[in-house]
């Protein structure tokens, strides 16, 4: 496998500083650059960023929460959520994973009366193990 070619400096390389024209994945600023890009694209396409939490975006009657590249959509109807997914699909490579069951380590369960129950059973188990209660 051939290595990608870099830029050779004929003189003493310690005398030069190079500036990247494009951020590279895995670099310290990659997350910040991705967030700036995502925010700009969403705002250009009708989303409104929350003034309270930068990770929340509003689109009509729906709310979208973003954590790096994981997104959680909440809307009053399936049609509202499907509209957002269709918009995002034109902008990014997205995957609809259906109704939520787990998000960032939090187990989500919808109760029969429509309410949601959030639990972190693995965290509770770890806590009990640490205290030698299991």
Give the mean pLDDT per block of 10 residues along the chain (134 residues).
Answer: 59 70 68 87 95 94 89 91 93 87 87 90 84 82
Q: Are residues 91 and 30 in the same domain?
A: yes
Interatomic CA distance for residues 48 and 43, integer angstroms: 6
pTM for this model (two decimals): 0.68
Q: Which domain holds residue 112?
A: 100-134
In this structure, are 27 and 87 located in the same domain? yes
Number of domains in the chain: 2
Q: Do 42 and 104 fall into the same domain?
A: no
CB 52 within 8 A of CB 65: no
Give the pairing of strands 116-119 and 48-49: unpaired
Indicate whether 27 belongs to any domain.
yes
């Amino acid at each position: 496998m051939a290595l990608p070619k870099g830029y050779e400096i004929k003189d003493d390389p310690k005398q030069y500083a190079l500036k990247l024209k494009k951020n590279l994945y895995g670099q310290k600023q990659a997350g910040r650059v991705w967030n700036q890009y995502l925010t700009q694209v969403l705002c250009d396409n009708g989303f409104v960023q929350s003034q309270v939490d930068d990770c929340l975006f509003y689109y009509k009657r729906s709310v979208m929460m973003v954590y790096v590249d994981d997104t959680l959509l909440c809307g009053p109807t399936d049609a509202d959520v499907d509209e957002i997914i269709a918009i995002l699909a034109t902008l990014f490579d997205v995957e609809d994973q259906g109704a939520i069951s787990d998000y960032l380590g939090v187990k989500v369960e919808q109760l029969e009366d429509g309410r949601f129950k959030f639990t972190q059973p693995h965290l509770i188990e770890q806590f009990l193990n640490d205290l030698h209660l299991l």
